[in-house]
């Protein structure tokens, strides 16, 4: 966090050990021309700033960039919000240019020397990547690429190239970013502008790039059209020469994670300081609530908000919070306190209705208090009065959770209940598809058997002996069968509803029962269901009516709705009915439509493709158990209040919204997170900071109405540097993923990817321009807090949801999209950047997880065994030359060839290896919302293809650049922006 | 020859027929002047222990438009083996089986004593009887319990091979599958949604198309039985299942908030019952038995909303056109009733509740299908329990006293045509030469369908004499009528009962005495009453009364002996003497008076009036009053307030009620406990006598009458007081305080006043 972090140290000069980038490698990438903006420019930043707003629409001023702008503008306009701000800066070019020229020249020289990029040795330092492989320099001329690459018809940019070329080797480093390009291109720039077109088009047109990407890396610089004026000839020449950028020299997620762990792992993190950035999600530590909500509940993209919206626009860093209101806290942390004010209910601000919290300032001897959110001065209700101490704090400050803690719960009064009636205890309704295929493949039997166990573990309040949750059962094929399982019956009774067009619940009494009381009847039922439909040959199934029926059962019959999923889901939410789906598709089932219901109702979607009993049942059963046992709240409404100056503008997650403020969730469990984006209304004060209060009104599993309050105070600053310093990359990726996945529904993928890339570049360029210490234009400088942002962003971009390829089933994309929409930060981090653990180096005596390695094929070895997990899938990859003793130890077979990969369970061997491996797998699986199915992958066998998709630093199987390529691309974009 | 009274009685016993006129006026004109139409009460299945059925097919007249059945009135040429139809005069060959006949070797149908004969025929497959229980579960706990017991009891009374089904309803309608082993299974329907027969059958999986399209099954028939067997099972197979099912039957679980009626989906439940049978066993004898404890409150056929503050419609509402749901509900049940009738099934309604249950709207279900309508206060009363038990009573042969799917065909000789029928039947719309254009009751056809009937079911059949005045009938000519009733006997046999009767013609001008003497005033009163009630169902009450009055006056004018303008000279012959009195009581009866009756009660009374035989009908019109005293054996006394004496015990039978009334003194004696003293054993016997007699009536009556034991000054005494002729009222004070009876506090006219007016009008030349 030290400032050094982003003070760009003269990069080139000091090549950092280990991390230093050897410039030569990717020289060609460096797009000299756009490399960097001169500091001078920065100041006049005015234009830039102006530009940003401009981005909204084709800014009048920027004729040159018009093209790009057009595009951006279009996007922007379609996007009401700034979420995907297009790259705006360019337009300024004209104005900015002037300054350029001078500087460039000067800069040039330096590059040479600094051929190698420096990265700050320590993570604290800002990452800088010299983008230009010096050696490659030649290629770098490429920029004008026009000649060589048909692809880049762009007008030749002769001038630059030439200049660059010379420096070419140096080029990259020509660190003096400012000068470098400027100098060389000074004249050209003017011309450039037009040219950028091609380049730019490229930029935005990410997809095409991808295509290019691969090749580029391989051989040619071609890809970077705009870049190098270099003569074609050169292009041709250099292609091969360029070595790959040493992956070790670019920021490593593993390194970042390990560092954070090393520094903060295992420690106590107290939330007493406003705006302090919490440890990474991957770091284990004990969190102590001292007035701000634990990062387990709320994580922000940045812990320091810019004071003005102008600043925010300039930086384009999303201001968002990922809220997981029901997050599980480890046993060594304090659970939430429950505040009960009896019939008067919680104390709330009269004006903004914010709940009493540490941000309320008591005045006038404790008789009144000023709301931290709206500044309204309220009388303290008599029953709540307390004297203040000498520092103006109430004497009972530490006795009342709502005065001293970031998170706590209130008992809600009847006013907070639907229709002012206390809620019923919640109910789980199990709806089992008993159509032919499910009977035949044994699924129904499996479920029925499992339910007997699972029902024993229904969630309950800690102090209660049995769960208050009632259960009900429905089976369905073409018609619906309801079951009366009232405890006094000798046999369950089945009631068939055939009117699926207008479904209803045929019984009241005996449908929803207490499991303990009706246990015998329920077991009887579960025993009989598989037999009852054993000779069923009904293939047709109904679906919407099934959910509707469940909902009706909960709401006790009102008028029915049409069974369009959307309105169905809406109805469900309105009646506090959450739907969780377990799908076992063997063909296309339209997950996108079906999934809408669970998504909008706060339920979960589970999908098991081509379910096979022997392979998939364990995974399914784990999911089923887990899902039922989860901590969960029902019929929830979340409201996020903020202090003046900003407000929550957009929400992402498994939610439903009827208006702009109330986030409705039929249910919310411990794994579901809602991401909230904030926008400025006004200026924020550095003193008052930015306060957030998230209140969730919900019904507990025992049917109590409660309010869960999370408060979080953030800093505000008028220094961009502060903003960048306080960023949280994992949260940023969570936000970007959700906003992009939401946009998938109404925007072309290409546009979305462009926006993501552009915004990435923009955020980094802004940093570079405003916060980093002067350095070579061609140098890539990343803020310390966002060091791994590009690699994560690349992972996001390569996710199948954002790639439309015929090889990827629509259902699978819809499924993943839905999963991500409700993910918390930790889950999204793992999802986008899987954990890859070497197993062959296991220390069987240690209980620690082995150190992870980066997700790249180059990290694998033929002699190695690796375990990869991303929260959904788990792979055990076996190198062809895996040590036989390990194979013996794990699989109990003599050799690699004997391993049967067609299983999802490791055999019980009992060897230390086996036990250790299983322990690791358990640790990984722990606390993950989805059960991961283990796939055993043998090197060089067909299934390896699947596995490789998860080596996210490599080039994607279905397109998408490797980490290195992407980094270069981003760098190029940044350079363009800076120019 | 015996007296007409004997003749009439004999005819009734043999043929189950009572004619208003037993000598027929020979021309249309004269017939119309007789005022009371030529008509008869026919009890098609009158029990005839002495009449064993013959085991062959009837011989029919070969003329396609006639097809009359060979009968004793036919002329037979034994030598030529020919017979002449007495209706169309067609000469027919006897079938080969009759080659051996001769004067001395006659088949039964030619013998005069077999004017009524029953054939057992073999037609179609014999299907067992079907009983579909449709049970309301919106009952009070003890009511439901009592009903469940009654239902379980009834299972033991059913023929063992009978198919039974169960539908229960409340807010929802549940069709119970009876075949399943293991868990009980039912199909549930929303109580608010009207479904077509097709939809119902689809949803119950009764249609072929709903069956899986797998390899075609070899035996279609098997499949059919499989389908239907899910809901209708032979009682011997599922006796236990059904008993358990009924045992576990719970009250409708949906909460009923205060101030609300339970939601009761009677309309849909019936609709589903009808649809189920329609899809599985059309044209097979089947009984839908609806047990309901309150009005339908939702869905099609709803009679009243669920708001208790809005009372169910009264006659007053109906007159004011204020009965919101009545028309729609009636329409719904009419459609159902007609479908049911078309399928040959019948619907019984057992409605037990303190308030109305919508019988007014639902009455067509029973009236058109020949089902029973039973109304009681609660299922937990002996009235219901015994009535219900009596449904399953057996005759001397051990067969159930019920028959199904009957068609009644009436054939007349040329001088007559059929004007219509009043009774529990629907028209089959068979036109023919003997169908009159003059319509009375269900008309325009010569055939009717009676889906459910028992040995007492009686129809009023009205005729028109069409013989023209100028076409005299030859001396000794007789008019003939043949009633052919084909039905499914409770033993599932198809049977045909044929009754052929003939009466003499007489010229009304020259032989009016004959005609007059052959007047059956009892039958005439009932037949006129049926006409009146039939009209009352569709017209305004006052109009019907006026019409009845006019008919009565005209009859008196025609047959009375009087001097013009001299009321005191007015006399009626014996054969007419009781008729005005019947009319007087009819005018006061609940069949025509709706005052003090709910629409449901009116419907209930009218229902029974339109199907009971003559004796019972007469009791309904003019209740019987017996008096018990120390003066002698019990004696029938005038239904008059003067009969209410302090030292008498009265027993009144109104058909619907049996009232035992202790006179003032008797009541005091009883109170004093004299009956328990050995020396007053005769008093004890006196008290016991009416009770025994009442029991006797109760044993035989269907439906069970309400049994009322009251005494002088008792609140229930009103049942008696409202029936007797108010000869003494608070208006004619001269009787006050005398020992001649009890004054009735009413403004109704007494019989005496009524008669005075009648005489005055009859002798007046003004009208």
Place of tokens 């919508």: B358
The CATH number of the domain where B235 resides is what? 3.40.50.410
Residues of A in contact with B188 (CB under 8 A): 482, 495-497, 506-507
Q: For residue A913, is it within any domain?
A: yes
What pLDDT band is residue B576 in, cutting at 50, 70 and 90? very high
State the pLDDT confidence band at A537, using cuts at 50, 70 and 90: low
Q: Are residues B152 and B250 in the same domain?
A: yes
Nearest to B186 among A496, A531, A538 (CB): A496
Tell me the CATH number at B71.
Answer: 2.60.40.1670
Domain count, chain B: 4
When divided into structural domains, chain A yields a total of 4
Q: In the structure, what pLDDT confidence band is assigned to residue A72 with cuts at 50, 70 and 90?
A: very low
Residue whose pair of structure tokens reads 């059960």 in the numeric block: A931
* Pair (A444, A584) in one structural domain: yes
How many other CB atoms sit within 10 Å of the CB of residue B580?
23
Q: Is A223's pLDDT higher than 50?
A: no
Overall size of chain B counted in residues: 767
Subunit contact B193:A499, Cβ cutoff 8 A: yes
Query: CB distance A495–B203 less than 8 Å?
Result: no
Same-domain check for residues A779 and A877: no
Residue numbers in A near B174 (CB within 8 A): 495, 506
pLDDT in tens, A866-902: 999 999 889 999 998 888 888 888 888 888 888 888 8
In a domain, B66, yes or no: yes
The alpha-helical segments, DSSP class H, found in A556-680 are: 565-574, 591-594, 596-600, 613-629
Judge whether A213 lies within some domain. Answer: no
Rank A76-90, A210-224, B166-180 by mean pLDDT and report only the highest. Answer: B166-180
Contact A347, A379 (CB under 8 A): no
Mean pLDDT of chain A: 74
Q: What is the mean pLDDT of residues B586-615?
A: 92
**Are residues A741 and A647 both part of a single domain?**
yes
Cβ pair A11, A775 in contact under 8 A: yes
Report yes or no: B650 and B737 within 8 Å, Cβ to Cβ: no
B127 occurs within a structural domain? no
Q: Is residue A185 part of a domain?
A: no
- pLDDT at res. A16: 38
Closest CA to A754 of A209, A151, A49: A209
**Is B165 in a helix, a strand, or coil?**
strand
CATH value at residue A371: 2.30.30.380
Check CB contact under 8 Å for A482 and B172. no
What pLDDT is attached to residue A655?
86
Which residues does chain B have within 8 Å of residue A504's beta carbon, measured at their own beta carbons? 172, 190
Dist CA A719 CA A711 (whole Å)? 24
B664 with B694, same domain? Answer: yes
A969 domain residue, yes or no: yes
Whether residues B450 and B575 fall in one domain: no
Q: Where are the beta strands (DSSP E) in B413-519?
A: 416-422, 426-427, 447-453, 459-465, 478-488, 494-506
Residue at A344 is within a domain: no
Residue at B213 is within a domain = no
Q: Are residues B556 and B414 in the same domain?
A: no
Whether residue A177 is predicted with pLDDT greater than 50 in this model: the reply is no
The span from the CA of B453 to the CA of B702, in Å, is 13
**A479 and A590, same structural domain?**
yes
Q: Is A498 in contact with B183 (Cβ distance < 8 A)?
A: no
Tell me, yes or no, whether A304 and A375 share the same domain.
no
Task: Based on the fold, state whether residues B467 and B554 are members of the same structural domain.
Answer: no
The CATH number of residue A896's host domain is 3.40.20.10
Closest CA to B706 of B377, B371, B456: B377
Structural domain containing residue B551: 520-622+746-766
pLDDT at B494 over 50: yes
Of B183, B195, B202, the CB nearest to A492: B183
CA distance A553 to chain B (A): 12
pLDDT at B579: 94
DSSP per residue over A752-767, as a string? HHHHHHHHHHHHHHHH
The answer to the question of residue A472 being in a domain is yes
Q: Are residues B288 and B409 in the same domain?
A: no
Q: What integer is the mean pLDDT of A174-179? A: 32
Whether A448 and A508 map to the same domain: the answer is yes
Reported confidence tier of residue A95, pLDDT bands at 50, 70, 90: very low
- Considering the domain architecture, whether residues A673 and A760 belong to the same structural domain is answered as yes
Taking CB atoms within 8 Å and a gap of at least 24, the contacts of B542-545 are: B544/B592, B545/B587, B545/B592
Q: Which residue has the higher pLDDT, A18 or B480?
A: B480
Q: Identify whether B738 is part of a domain.
A: no
Q: Hey, are the CB atoms on B253 and A507 less than 8 Å from each other?
A: yes
Do B413 and B454 reside in the same domain of the chain? yes
- Minimal CA separation from A547 to chain B, in Å: 17
Q: Is residue A388 included in any domain, yes or no? A: yes
Last residue within a domain, chosen from A607, A630, A653: A630
The tokens describing A904, both together, are 């999802």
Contacts of A510 in chain B (CB under 8 A): 253
Give the relative orientation of helices A46-55 and A66-78 as an angle to the nearest 10 degrees: 50
Q: Chain B residues with CB inside 8 Å of A524's CB?
A: 183
CA atoms within 13 A on the CB side of A249: 26
| Residues of chain A contacting residue B205, judged by C-beta atoms under 8 Å apart | 498
Q: Which two tokens stand for residue B327?
A: 């028309």
Nearest-5° Cα angle at A87, A82 to A91: 120
| B317 inside domain | yes
**Which of B174, B182, B190 lies at the smallest CB-CB distance from A499?**
B190
**pLDDT tens digits for range A737-794:** 999 998 888 888 889 999 999 999 999 999 988 888 777 777 788 888 998 999 999 9
Nearest to A72 by CA among A89, A90, A91, A85: A85
Among the partner-chain residues B187, B203, B212, the one whose CB lies closest to the CB of A537 is B212
Q: With CA atoms as reference, report the closest residue to B153 among B288, B246, B250, B292.
A: B246
If asked whether residues A296 and A391 sit together in one domain, one would say no
Q: Are residues B166 and B114 in the same domain?
A: no
DSSP H stretches of helix in B352-392:
359-369, 382-391
Which pLDDT tens digit goes with each residue over B310-346? 999 999 999 898 888 999 999 999 999 999 999 999 9
Same structural domain, A309 and A377: no
Please indicate, yes or no, if residue A945 is contained in any of the structural domains.
yes
Question: Is B217 inside a domain boundary?
Answer: no
Task: Please indicate, yes or no, whether residues A747 and A833 belong to a single structural domain of this protein.
Answer: no
* A502/B172 touch (CB, cutoff 8 Å), yes or no: no
| Chain B contact set for A502 (CB, 8 A) | 190, 193
Chain B: closest CA distance from residue A489 (Å)? 8
Residues facing A716 on adjacent strands: A305
**Measured between beta carbons, which residues in chain B are less than 8 angstroms from residue A542?**
none
To the nearest whole Å, the CA of B330 is away from the closest chain A CA by 26
Q: Is residue B658 part of a domain?
A: yes
Strands A865-869 and A605-607: unpaired
Q: What percent of chain B has pLDDT over 70?
A: 94
| Same structural domain, B198 and B310 | yes
Which pLDDT belongs to residue A103? 37
Structural domain harbouring A837: 796-974
Domain-ending residue, one of A733, A767, A795: A795
Shortest CA gap A545–chain B (Å): 14
Same domain, B355 and B329: yes
Same domain, A587 and A726: no
| Nearest residue to A1 via CA among A262, A278, A380, A334 | A278
Answer yes or no: do A504 and B255 touch at CB < 8 A: no
Domain CATH number, residue A481: 3.40.50.410
Query: How many angstroms separate the CA of residue A346 from the nearest CA in chain B?
Result: 33
Q: Tell me, what's the pLDDT at A958?
A: 79
Q: What is the pLDDT of residues A778-818, one digit of tens each?
A: 778 888 899 899 999 999 998 888 887 777 788 888 889 88
Cβ-nearest to A502 among B182, B190, B212:
B190
A775 in the same domain as A727: yes
Question: Does one domain contain both B90 and B201?
Answer: no
Q: Label residue A552 by pLDDT band (50, 70, 90).
A: low
User: What is the band of B146 on the pLDDT scale with cuts at 50, 70, 90?
Assistant: very high
ipTM: 0.81
Gap from A557 CA to chain B (nearest CA, Å)? 11
- Taking one residue from A and the other from B, the number of pairs with CB-CB distance under 8 angstroms is 65
Nearest-CB residue to A537 (from B188, B214, B254): B214
Whether residue B740 lies inside any domain: the answer is no
- Out of B519, B551, B577, a domain closes at B519
Q: Which among A496, A509, A532 has the least Cβ separation from residue B187? A: A496
Cβ atoms of residues A401 and A339 within 8 Å: yes
The CATH number of whichever domain residue A753 belongs to comes to 2.60.40.1670
């Amino acid at each position: 966090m030290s400032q050094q972090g982003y003070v760009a140290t003269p990069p080139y000069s000091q090549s950092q050990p280990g991390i230093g980038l050897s410039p030569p490698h990717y020289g060609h990438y460096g797009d000299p021309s756009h490399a960097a903006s001169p500091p001078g420019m920065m100041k006049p930043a005015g234009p830039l700033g102006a530009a940003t707003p401009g981005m909204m629409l084709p800014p009048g001023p920027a004729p040159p960039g018009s093209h790009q702008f057009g595009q951006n503008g279009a996007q922007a306009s379609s996007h009401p919000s700034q979420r995907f701000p297009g790259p705006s800066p360019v337009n300024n070019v004209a104005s900015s240019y002037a300054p350029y020229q001078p500087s460039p020249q000067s800069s040039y020289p330096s590059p040479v020397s600094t051929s190698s990029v420096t990265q700050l040795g320590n993570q604290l330092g800002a990452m800088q990547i010299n983008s230009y492989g010096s050696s490659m320099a030649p290629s770098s001329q490429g920029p004008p690429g026009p000649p060589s690459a048909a692809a880049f018809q762009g007008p030749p940019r002769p001038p630059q190239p030439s200049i660059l070329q010379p420096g070419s080797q140096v080029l990259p480093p020509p660190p003096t970013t400012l000068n470098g390009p400027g100098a060389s291109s000074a004249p050209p720039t003017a011309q450039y502008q037009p040219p950028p077109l091609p380049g730019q088009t490229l930029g935005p047109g990410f997809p095409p790039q991808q295509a290019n990407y691969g090749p580029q890396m391989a051989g040619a610089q071609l890809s970077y059209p705009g870049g190098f004026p270099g003569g074609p000839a050169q292009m041709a020449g250099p292609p091969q020469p360029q070595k790959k950028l040493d992956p070790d020299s670019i920021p490593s997620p593993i390194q970042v994670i390990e560092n954070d762990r090393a520094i903060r792992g295992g420690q106590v993190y107290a939330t007493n300081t406003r705006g302090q950035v919490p440890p990474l999600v991957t770091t284990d530590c004990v969190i102590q609530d001292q007035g701000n909500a634990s990062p387990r509940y709320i994580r922000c993209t940045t812990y320091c908000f810019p004071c003005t919206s102008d600043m925010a626009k300039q930086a384009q860093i999303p201001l968002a919070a990922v809220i997981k209101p029901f997050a599980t806290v480890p046993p060594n942390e304090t659970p939430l306190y429950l505040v009960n004010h009896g019939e008067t209910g919680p104390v709330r601000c009269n004006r903004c209705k914010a709940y009493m919290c540490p941000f309320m300032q008591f005045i006038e001897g404790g008789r009144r208090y000023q709301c931290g959110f709206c500044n309204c001065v309220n009388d303290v209700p008599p029953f709540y009065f307390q004297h203040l101490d000498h520092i103006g704090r109430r004497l009972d400050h530490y006795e009342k959770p709502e005065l001293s803690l970031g998170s706590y719960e209130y008992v809600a009064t009847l006013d907070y209940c639907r229709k002012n009636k206390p809620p019923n205890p919640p109910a789980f309704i199990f709806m089992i598809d008993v159509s032919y295929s499910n009977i035949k493949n044994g699924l129904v039997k499996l479920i029925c058997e499992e339910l007997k166990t699972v029902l024993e573990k229904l969630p309950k309040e800690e102090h209660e002996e049995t769960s208050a949750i009632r259960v009900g059962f429905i089976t369905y094929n073409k018609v619906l069968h309801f079951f009366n399982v009232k405890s006094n019956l000798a046999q369950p009774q089945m009631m068939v509803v055939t009117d699926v067009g207008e479904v209803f619940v045929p019984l009241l009494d005996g449908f929803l029962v207490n499991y303990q009381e009706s246990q015998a009847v329920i077991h009887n039922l579960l025993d009989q269901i598989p037999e009852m439909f054993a000779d069923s040959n009904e293939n047709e199934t109904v679906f919407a009516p099934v959910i509707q029926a469940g909902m009706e059962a909960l709401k006790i019959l009102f008028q029915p709705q049409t069974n369009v999923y959307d309105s169905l889901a809406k109805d469900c939410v309105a009646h506090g009915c959450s739907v969780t789906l377990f799908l076992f598709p063997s063909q296309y089932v339209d997950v996108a439509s079906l999934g809408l219901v669970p998504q909008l109702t706060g339920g979960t979607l589970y999908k098991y493709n081509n379910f096979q009993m022997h392979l998939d049942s364990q995974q399914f059963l784990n999911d089923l158990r887990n899902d039922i046992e989860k901590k969960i709240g029902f019929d929830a409404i979340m409201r996020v209040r903020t202090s003046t100056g900003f407000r929550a503008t957009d929400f992402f997650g498994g939610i439903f919204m009827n208006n702009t403020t109330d986030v409705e969730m039929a249910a919310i469990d411990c794994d579901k997170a809602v991401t909230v984006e904030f926008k400025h209304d006004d200026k924020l004060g550095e003193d008052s900071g930015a306060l957030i209060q998230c209140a969730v009104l919900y019904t507990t599993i025992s049917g109590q109405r409660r309010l869960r309050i999370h408060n979080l105070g953030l800093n505000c600053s008028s220094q961009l540097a502060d903003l960048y310093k306080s960023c949280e990359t994992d949260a940023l990726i969570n936000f970007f993923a959700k906003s992009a996945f939401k946009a998938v529904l109404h925007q072309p993928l290409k546009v979305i990817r462009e926006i993501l890339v552009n915004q990435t570049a923009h955020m980094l360029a802004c940093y570079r321009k405003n916060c980093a210490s002067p350095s070579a234009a061609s140098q890539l400088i990343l803020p310390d807090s966002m060091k791994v942002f590009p690699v994560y962003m690349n992972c996001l971009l390569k996710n199948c949801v954002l790639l439309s390829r015929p090889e990827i089933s629509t259902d699978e994309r819809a499924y993943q999209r839905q999963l991500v929409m409700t993910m918390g930060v930790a889950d999204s981090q793992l999802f986008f950047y899987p954990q890859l653990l070497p197993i062959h180096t296991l220390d069987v005596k240690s209980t620690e997880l082995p150190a992870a390695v980066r997700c790249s094929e180059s990290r694998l070895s033929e002699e190695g065994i690796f375990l990869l997990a991303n929260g959904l899938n788990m792979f055990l990859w076996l190198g062809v030359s895996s040590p036989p003793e390990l194979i013996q130890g794990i699989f109990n077979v003599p050799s690699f060839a004997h391993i049967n990969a067609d299983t999802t369970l490791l055999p019980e061997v009992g060897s230390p290896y086996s036990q250790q491996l299983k322990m690791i797998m358990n640790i990984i699986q722990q606390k993950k919302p989805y059960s991961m199915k283990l796939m055993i992958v043998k090197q060089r066998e067909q299934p390896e293809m699947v596995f490789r998709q998860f080596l996210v630093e490599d080039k994607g199987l279905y397109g998408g650049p490797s980490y290195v390529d992407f980094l270069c691309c981003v760098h190029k974009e940044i350079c363009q922006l800076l120019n | 020859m015996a007296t007409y009274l004997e003749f009439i009685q004999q005819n009734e016993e043999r043929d189950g027929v009572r004619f208003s006129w037993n000598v027929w006026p020979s021309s249309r004109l004269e017939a119309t002047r007789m005022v009371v139409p030529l008509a008869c009460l026919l009890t098609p299945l009158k029990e005839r222990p002495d009449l064993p059925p013959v085991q062959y097919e009837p011989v029919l007249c070969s003329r396609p438009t006639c097809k009359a059945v060979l009968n004793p009135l036919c002329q037979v040429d034994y030598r030529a083996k020919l017979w002449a139809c007495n209706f169309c005069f067609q000469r027919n060959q006897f079938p080969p089986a009759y080659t051996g006949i001769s004067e001395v070797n006659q088949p039964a149908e030619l013998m005069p004593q077999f004017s009524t004969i029953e054939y057992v025929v073999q037609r179609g497959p014999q299907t067992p009887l079907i009983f579909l229980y449709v049970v309301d579960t919106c009952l009070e706990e003890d009511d439901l319990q009592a009903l469940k017991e009654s239902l379980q009891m009834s299972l033991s009374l059913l023929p063992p091979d009978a198919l039974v089904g169960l539908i229960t309803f409340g807010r929802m309608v549940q069709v119970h599958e009876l075949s399943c082993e293991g868990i009980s299974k039912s199909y549930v329907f929303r109580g608010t949604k009207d479904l077509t027969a097709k939809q119902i059958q689809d949803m119950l999986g009764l249609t072929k198309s709903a069956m899986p399209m797998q390899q075609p099954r070899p035996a279609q028939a098997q499949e059919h039985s499989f389908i239907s067997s899910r809901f209708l099972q032979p009682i011997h197979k599922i006796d236990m299942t059904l008993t358990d099912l009924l045992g576990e039957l719970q009250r409708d679980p949906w909460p009923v908030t205060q101030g609300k009626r339970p939601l009761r989906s009677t309309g849909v439940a019936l609709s589903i019952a009808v649809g189920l049978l329609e899809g599985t066993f059309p044209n097979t004898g089947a009984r839908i038995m609806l047990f309901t404890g309150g009005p339908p409150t939702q869905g099609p056929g709803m009679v009243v909303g669920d708001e208790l503050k809005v009372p169910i419609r009264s006659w007053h509402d109906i007159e004011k056109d204020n009965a919101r749901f009545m028309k729609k509900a009636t329409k719904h049940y009419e459609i159902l009733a007609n479908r049911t009738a078309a399928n040959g099934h019948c619907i019984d309604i057992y409605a037990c509740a303190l308030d109305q249950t919508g019988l007014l709207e639902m009455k067509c279900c029973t009236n058109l299908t020949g089902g029973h309508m039973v109304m009681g206060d609660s299922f937990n009363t002996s009235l219901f329990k015994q009535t219900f038990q009596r449904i399953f009573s057996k005759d001397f042969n051990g067969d159930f006293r019920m028959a199904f799917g009957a068609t009644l065909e009436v054939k007349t000789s040329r001088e007559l045509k059929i004007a219509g029928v009043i009774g529990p039947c629907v028209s089959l719309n068979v036109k023919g030469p003997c169908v009159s254009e003059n319509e009375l009751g269900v008309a325009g056809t010569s055939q009717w369908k009676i889906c459910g009937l028992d040995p007492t079911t009686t129809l009023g059949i009205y005729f028109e004499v069409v013989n023209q005045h100028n076409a005299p009938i030859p001396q000794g000519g007789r008019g003939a009528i043949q009633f052919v009733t084909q039905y499914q006997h409770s033993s599932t046999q198809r049977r045909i009962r044929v009754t052929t009767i003939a009466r003499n013609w007489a010229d009304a001008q020259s032989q009016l005495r004959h005609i007059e003497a052959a007047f059956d005033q009892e039958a005439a009163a009932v037949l006129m009453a049926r006409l009146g009630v039939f009209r009352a169902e569709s017209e305004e009450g006052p109009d019907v009364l006026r019409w009845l009055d006019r008919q009565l006056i005209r009859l008196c004018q025609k047959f009375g002996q009087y001097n013009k303008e001299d009321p005191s000279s007015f006399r009626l012959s014996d054969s007419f003497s009781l008729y005005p009195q019947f009319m007087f009581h009819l005018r006061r009866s609940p069949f025509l008076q709706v005052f003090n009756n709910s629409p449901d009660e009116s419907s209930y009374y009218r229902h029974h009036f339109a199907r009971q035989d003559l004796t019972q009908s007469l009791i309904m019109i003019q209740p019987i009053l017996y008096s018990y005293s120390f003066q002698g054996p019990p004696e029938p006394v005038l239904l008059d307030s003067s009969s209410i004496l302090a030292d008498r015990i009265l027993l009144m039978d109104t058909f619907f009620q049996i009232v035992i009334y202790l006179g003032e003194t008797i009541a005091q004696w009883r109170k004093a406990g004299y009956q328990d003293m050995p020396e007053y054993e005769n008093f004890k016997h006196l008290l016991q006598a009416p009770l025994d007699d009442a029991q006797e009536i109760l044993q035989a009556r269907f439906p069970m009458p309400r049994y009322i034991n009251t005494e002088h000054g008792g609140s229930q005494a009103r049942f008696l007081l409202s029936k007797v002729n108010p000869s003494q009222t608070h208006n004619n004070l001269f009787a006050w305080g005398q020992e001649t009876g009890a004054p009735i506090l009413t403004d109704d006219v007494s019989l005496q006043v009524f008669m005075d007016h009648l005489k005055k009008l009859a002798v007046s030349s003004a009208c």
